C-alpha cells in the first residue's frame, strides 16, 4: 500500500502553501481568499529517504452559503479515507474556532494517526499562541511556518515513522500523460468523473469550477496513463481575477507537460476562436491532439450534420488536418471510452519508430514519381530517409541541395508519410540535410 499523507483543515490556514513546500513545486494555487482549493490535489514528497504521496484538500466548512461547500466536504472525506496519516492544520494567528472544534471530532472518528499543525508560527510570539490548541484534544501541536519551512523537520520526522514500506521516488515517472483542455464549462470534469467512476473533480454549471490541474492515474485495456483535468482557458480580456489567471497558467503548463491533448468543444456553440487557439497551442508544442465535440446529444441532427461539423472544424484549424474528431455525450456515456482509446492510439502513434527500410521502400518510389521541382536549373535528388530519435516524430531527408526544397514539396512528403504510416493525431517534423 502507498504511503499517503493528507493535509486537512478549515479554509485559509495555509494547506496549499504547505503542500507546495512539501513537493518543492508551486503546483497548488495559493491566495488570501478562502476556498481557493476545491478538488483533491496529489503530489510526491520525500523526507530522510522515505517517499510518500501527499494530498492537498479544500477547506472543510459547514453551514456556509458557498455553493461548493458540500462537494468540497466530500472531497475532504475521500482524502481522509484514502490517507494513512492526517495533518490537521490550524492557524496560530486566529486561534481555536468552532470549525476547528467540529473538524477535530470528524478526525477522531477516522481512527487514523492525526498530527495537529499550528501554522503561521513565523515568530516566537505566534508560536506561544499555539498552546490554546490543546483544548482540541488532539495532542501536542507542532508549530510550523509553511511560508519559511521552520518546524517542518520535526513534524516530518514523526510522520515518516508510520511508513514501513518503501514507495518509489516518483511512481508517475515515464507514464504517458493525457490532458483534457478546453474553454470553461464544456464538460471536462464530468468527462473525468465518468471515466474514473467517482467524483474526482467537482462539477457545477458555474464556469471556472475547476481551478487546479487535477491528475488521476487511469488504466484502460492494459494501458496505464495519467489523465489530467484542467481549468477552462478563456481569452485574456475575459479574465477578471488573479485566481483565474493562475488557473489558466496551470492549464497551459499541463498542456506543455502532456503527451496527448484532448481538446473539448461544446457542440451547441460550435468551434470558437478560443478553441482554435488551444488547438494551435497544442500543435505549436508538438503534442498529440484529439478533438472531442461534447454535448452532441443537444444538437439537432440529420444525415449531413457530422460532415458539416467536421468541415467547419477543418476550415477553422487549417492547415492542421491530422487531428481525429470524436462526437460525444457525457450524460449518455456516448463514445466516452472510444475517445480515450483514440487518445491512447495517438500516444502510440507519437512514440512509434518506423524502420528505415520501410521508410525508404515507401517514399523513394513516390519521390521518383514526383521529384522536387528544379530551381535555377538545378535538380534536387533525395537519396535516403530515416527517422531521428526525438520525442516528436522527425524524419531526415538526405539530399544534394536541401536549401532548394520548397514548402509545397514538404507538404507533399508529409502527406506521403501519413498515407503510408499511421500518424493520426500527431504533428510530424521534416528536416533536410546535405548528403
Alpha helices in 47-94 (DSSP H): 69-82
Q: What is the pLDDT of residue 418?
A: 95
Secondary structure class of 129 (helix, strand, coil): helix
Q: Which CATH superfamily is domain 177-351 in?
A: P-loop containing nucleotide triphosphate hydrolases (3.40.50.300)
Pair 227, 218: CB distance under 8 Å = yes
DSSP classification of residue 374: P
pLDDT at position 310: 94
pLDDT in the model for residue 221: 63
Give 350's Cβ-side CA count (13 Å radius).
26
Q: What is the pLDDT of residue 69?
A: 64
- Of the candidates 348, 339, 170, the one whose C-alpha atom is nearest the C-alpha of residue 259 is 348
Break the chain into its structural domains and give their ranges: 4-162, 177-351, 356-434
| Phi, psi dihedral angles at 227 (to 5 degrees) | -110, 135
What string of H, E and C letters represents the secondary structure of 203-258? CCCCCCCCCCCEEEEEEECCEEEEEEECCCCCCHHHCCCHHHHHHHHHHHHHHHHC
What is the C-alpha separation between 250 and 248, in angstroms, rounded? Answer: 5
CATH number of 356-434: 3.30.300.20
- Phi, psi of 167, rounded to the nearest 5 degrees: -95, 145
pLDDT at position 235, please?
53
- Cβ atoms of 319 and 312 within 8 Å: the answer is no
Per-residue model confidence (pLDDT) at position 256: 82
Cα 255 versus chain centre, distance = 7
Q: Dihedral, CA atoms, 299, 304, 309, 313, nearest 10 degrees?
A: 180
Give all strands of the β-sheet with 214-220 in edge-to-edge order: 214-220, 223-229, 177-182, 260-266, 288-294, 325-327
Phi, psi of 202 (to 5 degrees): -70, 135
Q: Residue 109 has what pLDDT?
A: 87
- pLDDT value of residue 65: 52
Q: Which CATH superfamily is domain 4-162 in?
A: P-loop containing nucleotide triphosphate hydrolases (3.40.50.300)
Sign of CA dihedral 11, 202, 31, 54: positive
Q: Do domains 4-162 and 177-351 have the same CATH topology?
A: yes
Residue 173 in grid coordinates: 515517472
> For position 238, what pLDDT does the model report?
47
Low pLDDT (below 70) residues in the chain: 1-2, 26-40, 62-71, 167-173, 198-216, 221, 231-251
- Residues 379-395 have pLDDT tens digits of 889 999 999 999 899 99
Amino acid at each position: 500500500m502507498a504511503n499517503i499523507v493528507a493535509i486537512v483543515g478549515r479554509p485559509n490556514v495555509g494547506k496549499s502553501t504547505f503542500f507546495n513546500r512539501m513537493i518543492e513545486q508551486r503546483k497548488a494555487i495559493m491566495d488570501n481568499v478562502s476556498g481557493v482549493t476545491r478538488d483533491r490535489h496529489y503530489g510526491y514528497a520525500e523526507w530522510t529517504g522515505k517517499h510518500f504521496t501527499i494530498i492537498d484538500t479544500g477547506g472543510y466548512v459547514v453551514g456556509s452559503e458557498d455553493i461548493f461547500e458540500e462537494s468540497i466536504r466530500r472531497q475532504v472525506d475521500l482524502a481522509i479515507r484514502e490517507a494513512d496519516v492526517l495533518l490537521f492544520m490550524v492557524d496560530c494567528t486566529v486561534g481555536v474556532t468552532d470549525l476547528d472544534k467540529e473538524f477535530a471530532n470528524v478526525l477522531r472518528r477516522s481512527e487514523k494517526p492525526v498530527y495537529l499543525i499550528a501554522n503561521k508560527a513565523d515568530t516566537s510570539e505566534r508560536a506561544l499562541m499555539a498552546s490554546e490548541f490543546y483544548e482540541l484534544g488532539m495532542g501536542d501541536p507542532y508549530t510550523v511556518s509553511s511560508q519559511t519551512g521552520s518546524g517542518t523537520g520535526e513534524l516530518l520526522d514523526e510522520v515518516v515513522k508510520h511508513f514501513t514500506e518503501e514507495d518509489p521516488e516518483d511512481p508517475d515517472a515515464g507514464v504517458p500523460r493525457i490532458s483534457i483542455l478546453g474553454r470553461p464549462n464544456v464538460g471536462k470534469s464530468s468527462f473525468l468523473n465518468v471515466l474514473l467512476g467517482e467524483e474526482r473533480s467537482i462539477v457545477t454549471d458555474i464556469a471556472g469550477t475547476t481551478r487546479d490541474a487535477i491528475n488521476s492515474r487511469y488504466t484502460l485495456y492494459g494501458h496505464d496513463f495519467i489523465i489530467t483535468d484542467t481549468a477552462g482557458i478563456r481569452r485574456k480580456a475575459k479574465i477578471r481575477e488573479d485566481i483565474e489567471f493562475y488557473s489558466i497558467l496551470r492549464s497551459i503548463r499541463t498542456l506543455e507537460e502532456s503527451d496527448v491533448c484532448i481538446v473539448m468543444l461544446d457542440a451547441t456553440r460550435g468551434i470558437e476562436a478560443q478553441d482554435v487557439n488551444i488547438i494551435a497551442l497544442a500543435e505549436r508544442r508538438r503534442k498529440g491532439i484529439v478533438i472531442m465535440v461534447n454535448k452532441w446529444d443537444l444538437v439537432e441532427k440529420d444525415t449531413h450534420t457530422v460532415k458539416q461539423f467536421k468541415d467547419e472544424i477543418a476550415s477553422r484549424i487549417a492547415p492542421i488536418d491530422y487531428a481525429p474528431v470524436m462526437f460525444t455525450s457525457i450524460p449518455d456515456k456516448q463514445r466516452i471510452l472510444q475517445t480515450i482509446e483514440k487518445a491512447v492510439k495517438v500516444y502510440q502513434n507519437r512514440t512509434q519508430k518506423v524502420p528505415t527500410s520501410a521508410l525508404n521502400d515507401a517514399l523513394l518510389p513516390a519521390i521518383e514519381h514526383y521529384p522536387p521541382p528544379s530551381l535555377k536549373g538545378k535538380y534536387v535528388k533525395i537519396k535516403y530517409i530515416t527517422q531521428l530519435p526525438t520525442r516528436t516524430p522527425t524524419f531526415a531527408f538526405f539530399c544534394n541541395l536541401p536549401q532548394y526544397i520548397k514548402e509545397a514539396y514538404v507538404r507533399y512528403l508529409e502527406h506521403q508519410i501519413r498515407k503510408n504510416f499511421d500518424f493520426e493525431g500527431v504533428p510530424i517534423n521534416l528536416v533536410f540535410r546535405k548528403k
